[in-house]
Amino acid sequence: MFKAIVSADTLRTTIDSVGVLVDECKIHLEEDGLAIKAVDPANVGMVDLQLSNEAFESYEADGGVIGVNLDRLESIAGMASSDQLIELELDEETRKLHIKIDGLEYTLALIDPDSIRQEPDIPDLDLPATIVVEGSDIDRAVKAADMVSDHIALGVDEDENVFYIEAEGDTDNVDLKLDTDDLIDLTAGPAHSLFSLDYLKDMNKALPKNGEVTIDLGEEFPLKLHFETAEGMGEVTYMLAPRIQSD
Amino acid sequence: MFKAIVSADTLRTTIDSVGVLVDECKIHLEEDGLAIKAVDPANVGMVDLQLSNEAFESYEADGGVIGVNLDRLESIAGMASSDQLIELELDEETRKLHIKIDGLEYTLALIDPDSIRQEPDIPDLDLPATIVVEGSDIDRAVKAADMVSDHIALGVDEDENVFYIEAEGDTDNVDLKLDTDDLIDLTAGPAHSLFSLDYLKDMNKALPKNGEVTIDLGEEFPLKLHFETAEGMGEVTYMLAPRIQSD
Amino acid sequence: MFKAIVSADTLRTTIDSVGVLVDECKIHLEEDGLAIKAVDPANVGMVDLQLSNEAFESYEADGGVIGVNLDRLESIAGMASSDQLIELELDEETRKLHIKIDGLEYTLALIDPDSIRQEPDIPDLDLPATIVVEGSDIDRAVKAADMVSDHIALGVDEDENVFYIEAEGDTDNVDLKLDTDDLIDLTAGPAHSLFSLDYLKDMNKALPKNGEVTIDLGEEFPLKLHFETAEGMGEVTYMLAPRIQSD
């Protein structure tokens, strides 16, 4: 059983957070909210999303799992204006999701969850450095890096208490340094890892531009990006595997 | 003889209403205003437009006919800001239309009216159901239907006093139901017909999003869409042939 | 030595003025400001730009020359919001330009100035007619002309004290006439020349739409377009060779 009412804005933000990595996913309809875990086809980027039932206008569920085409769901949610309410109701027998927006009903055929790539085990890493930063700063660095390279390094300079993002191209370089005045918070530690810019660009699309993002980093370790959605009623964690450092 | 001054907004709305169906048309320059009838190359969609001389700042005509490339006229009108005035003057000898926008003069070569597809006889149908609805509701339904199918059904549920628009795709469906509270007016009657979505999408582009549209419907009969333009000084009627119902 | 701070808006306007004609250019880093001269590969259009040191928040230079890829510089400047400050600093040894925008540093490899097309000698013509006009009027005429032709005539009707822009297409014509009421200033003289519309379209992109542009014209002579940028602290002159009049 699943029946819920949610603002278009909250639904879209949720879908987008996962949709930047995968086209289809399983959604766990838990009693206390929605839960999604997914990994991209190359096993490089993962997402772990929780959306509390408190993010909904109304919410009833008893623990089922549905398989969803995220592009399709995104287009449907896109038909509502951001403050409009969207009603969701699962028909268990037909395995269809009824989506109502102000008199308009869209009946979405669900995907067999067993046909969707298995959900990842998100490793519980204890990373030495933690940076809390405005999403807009990551956005600036990622867009600038994209002008010169296809990979990007993130790290912490422990002597100077500085978080840096660097990209080296064939002729040009990009470099963003943020000290404790620029950052919301910094726990310095040994940290420097190289990542594929393509993945970070995708994740960046879903980061809150006017909100804070927590970055966990190590030396040649995966990156963790953590942020809240739905006014604190939702949580998203991305994990991105490092690239081998080249010299 | 033809000489007129009209707001860019009124001229553009007029051109667009016809331009969504055909690229060229004949314009009748009647004493009491402009009149256009046109049918698309496949004989599926027709338009009948009247624009009263009262929609113009000034208007003089004595009954001629000109042939016009609507794309071209649309681009010219597009150079004016919406509240700017556009002067139109026909040179009978050269068969050119002089179009003036604040010092800028565009001399448009007209098309021989005899080379343009013959104007349709718009059938005078007495359709059993009439629905008056906000253009924005048609817009929502057409856009949603376009996500799942290439045809769309419009009908009236006489028992429930409900106007509906439905589209059935291979896996997903779209359904808009509007009752008498949602509609501006409803005259219920036996009505259910299937239409090509492509044509309805084109007509929808010209419907007033914040104004009312009158729909006349029957059972496997053509659809009539009727609305006013130019603050009530113009009238547009579309007629769309039904598709054969498939099961 | 070169070290300067400038608003993103001023830097972008400067780059765009030259970038509409050439992809790369030499920039002279004079004590009193920047100077750029460039000619397009076909030797048809030239630009001469001066940007006074007063247009900068701070400025230090001692007469060097750098070679710059304008597309690249434009993209970098595009990362700043228009009122943000951009710091520029030349590293003489590495021949790289360090560009800083609020903590983000872009290191731009410069181009060997000797590899860039030679700077033009801008001829000092004494043209008989001078027209001062709103940039928006040139914009209107160029866009309308582009609908009918690939060349455009500019001239002065000395009897009527009228400046005109004309384009003749195969079937349609465009004609803008501006008299002394429409113009900011007019010095009438014998003037009528034909120009390539492609070049004028490019130059038009950089003209101030809400500012004045001075046009110098003769009979089958080059056109000069002159305007101020950076609130009067910069000056741009375009020169465009005429096309041979065809009949």
One-letter amino acid for residue B24 of the chain: E
Q: Is C108 on the interface with A (CB under 8 A)?
A: yes
Record: contact A104-B147, CB cut-off 8 A = no
Record: contact B104-C140, CB cut-off 8 A = yes
Q: Which two tokens stand for residue C39?
A: 């000619």
Q: Is C133 on the interface with B (CB under 8 A)?
A: no
Q: How far is C60 from chain A (nearest CA, A)?
A: 24
Q: Which two tokens stand for residue C141?
A: 């005429």
CA-based nearest residue in chain A for residue C102 = A176
Q: How far is A199 from chain B (nearest CA, A)?
A: 29
Domain boundaries defined on chain C? 2-115, 129-240
Residue with tokens 């900011």: C184
Q: Is A171 on the interface with C (CB under 8 A)?
A: yes
Q: Is C107 on the interface with A (CB under 8 A)?
A: yes
Please tell me the CATH code under which domain A2-114 is placed: 3.70.10.10
Taking only Cα atoms into account, the Rg of chain C, rounded to an integer number of angstroms, comes to 19
The closest of C160, C165, C166, C158 to C129, measured between CA atoms, is C158
Q: How far is B6 from chain A (nearest CA, A)?
A: 35
- Identify the pLDDT of residue B246: 57
Report pLDDT digits (tens) over C176-194: 999 999 999 999 999 999 9
- Identify the pLDDT of residue C29: 98
Q: How far is A41 from chain B (nearest CA, A)?
A: 25
Q: Smallest Cβ distance to B174: which of A72, A106, A109?
A: A106
- Which residues lie across from A7 on neighbouring strands? A85
One-letter amino acid for residue A36 of the chain: I
Please tell me the CATH code under which domain A129-240 is placed: 3.70.10.10
- Identify the pLDDT of residue A244: 76
Chains near C with 3+ CB pairs less than 8 A apart are A, B
From chain A, pick out residues whose CB is under 8 angstroms from the CB of C109: 171-172
Q: Do C151 and C194 form a contact (C-beta atoms < 8 A)? A: yes
Buried b (16+ CB within 10 A) or exposed e, C4-28: bebbbbbbbbbbbbbbbbbebbbbb
Q: Smallest Cβ distance to B178: which of A79, A103, A109?
A: A103
Q: How confident is the model at residue C122 (pLDDT cuts 50, 70, 90)?
A: confident
Number of Cβ within a 10 Å radius of residue A85: 17
Is residue C242 pLDDT above 70, yes or no?
yes
- Identify the pLDDT of residue A83: 85
Using DSSP's 3-state secondary structure scheme, residue A218 falls into: coil
Q: Smallest Cβ distance to A107: which of B137, B173, B178?
A: B173
Cα A65–A66–A71 angle (5° rounding)?
Answer: 145
Record: contact A109-B172, CB cut-off 8 A = yes
Q: How confident is the model at residue C245 (pLDDT cuts 50, 70, 90)?
A: low
Q: How far is A178 from chain C (nearest CA, A)?
A: 7
Q: Do C216 and C125 form a contact (C-beta atoms < 8 A)? A: yes
From chain A, pick out residues whose CB is under 8 angstroms from the CB of C103: 137, 176-178, 182
Q: How far is A241 from chain C (nearest CA, A)?
A: 25
One-letter amino acid for residue C208 of the chain: P
**Average pLDDT in chain A:** 96
Q: Is B98 on the interface with C (CB under 8 A)?
A: no
Q: Is C172 on the interface with B (CB under 8 A)?
A: yes
- Identify the pLDDT of residue B83: 85
Task: Assign a CATH topology to domain B2-115.
Answer: Proliferating Cell Nuclear Antigen (3.70.10)
- Identify the pLDDT of residue C8: 96
Question: C27 vs B21, B169, C5, CA distance in Å?
Answer: 54, 61, 16
Q: Is A105 on the interface with B (CB under 8 A)?
A: yes
Q: How confident is the model at residue A246 (pLDDT cuts 50, 70, 90)?
A: low
Pick among A84, A89, A104 to test the B interface (most B CBs inside 10 A): A104
Is B2-115's fold the same as B129-240's? yes
- Which residues lie across from A145 on neighbouring strands? none
Q: How far is B88 from chain C (nearest CA, A)?
A: 14
ipTM of the complex: 0.91
Report pLDDT digits (tens) over A57-102: 999 999 999 999 999 999 999 999 988 999 999 999 999 999 999 9
Residue with tokens 């050119």: B96
Q: What is the mean pLDDT of residues A16-34?
A: 97
- Identify the pLDDT of residue B122: 87
A:58-77 residues touching chain B, CB 8 A cutoff: 72, 75-76
The closest of B129, B138, B122 to B205, measured between CA atoms, is B138
Chains near A with 3+ CB pairs less than 8 A apart are B, C
**Segments in chain B below pLDDT 70:** 245-247
Is residue C90 pLDDT above 70, yes or no?
yes
Report pLDDT digits (tens) over A110-151: 999 999 999 999 888 999 999 999 999 999 999 999 999 999
Residues A174 and B229: their CA atoms lie apart, in Å, by: 55
From chain B, pick out residues whose CB is under 8 angstroms from the CB of A103: 137, 176-178, 182
Q: Is B136 on the interface with A (CB under 8 A)?
A: no
Q: Do A18 and A68 form a contact (C-beta atoms < 8 A)? A: no
Q: How confident is the model at residue C246 (pLDDT cuts 50, 70, 90)?
A: low
Helices A197-206 and A135-145, packing angle to 10 deg: 150
